Every structure is written in C-alpha cells, then in structure tokens.
Amino acid sequence: MSNLSPVVNIASKVSLTAAVSLFIVAILTLILITYNESASIRHENIIKSRLSMQSVITVLEEYKKDLGFYPNDISQLTSVYLSKTPLDIWGNEYLYDYSQSNETYRIYTLGSDGAVGGDQDRRDYDNNTNWDLVY
C-alpha cells in the first residue's frame, strides 16, 4: 500500500494542473471572443457612419442641384428633402458648417461621445474623411 501513495499524489497533481490549464484556456478564449466582437461592432459602426453621412451628402447635393446653392443650415433640408433633421448613428444631430464665400460645406459627427477627437466609436467623421484609412 505504500507504493500507491506516490501514484495517487502524482495523479492529483496532474489533475490539478489540467484543471488550471483548462481554466486559463477558457479565460483566454473568452477574452479573444470579446475582443473579436468589439472589433466587429467597431467595424460595423464605421460602415454605418459612412453610409449615414453619405446619404446626407447626397441630399445636400440634391438641394444644391435644385436651388443652385447649399443650405445655410442643415435644418433647411427638412420638409422637402427629409422628414426630420438627420441624425448620426448615435442619435446626435449632424453638425454642419457652410461657407458661402467659397460654396463649400462640412458635415460631421463627433462620434458616440459628442466631444471633439477620440478614437474608435468616439472618433469624429466628416465629409472629408478618407474612409480607406479608417479601417
């Protein structure tokens, strides 16, 4: 019986090592899945932002085509061109700056936090964003 004791002791150490290893693998897998889901959501938000902004740009260009100039305020698009003031994907109104002197505009969103600057979902996007560099 004295020979079985070291075997049982080694077996329990192996079982404990296997259990700890399995636990670590499970935690690492969970972290990887969470990271991948976050990256997918960020990528999806970039695509949604681009499409949403492009639809507003299309309306602005249609307005200019019809009237010969861009609106002074984005709210001028409502009723005839849009049913309501356009919102970004986070539910915030797009910001709009129009320069009458050179007939240019900037339409932009400040991201999910509504503050200038940021990264990921807090990033600012405008009609001059190089979308190829965003991804």
- Tell me, letter by letter, the H, E, C secondary structure of the chain: CCCHHHHHHHHHHHHHHHHHHHHHHHHHHHHHHHHHHHHHHHHHHHHHHHHHHHHHHHHHHHHHHHHCCCCCCHHHHECCCECCCCECCCCCECEEEEECCCCEEEEEECCCCCCCCCCHHHCCEECCCCHHHHC
| pTM score, whole prediction | 0.65
Predicted confidence band of residue 110 (pLDDT cuts 50, 70, 90): confident
If pLDDT is split at 50, 70 and 90, which confidence band does 8 have? Answer: low
Domain boundaries, the chain: 4-134
Pick the CATH number of 4-134 from 3.40.50.300, 3.40.640.10, 3.30.700.10, 3.40.250.10: 3.30.700.10
pLDDT at 87: 87
The 10s digit of each residue's pLDDT in 16-59 is 787 878 788 878 777 776 666 666 777 788 888 888 889 999 99
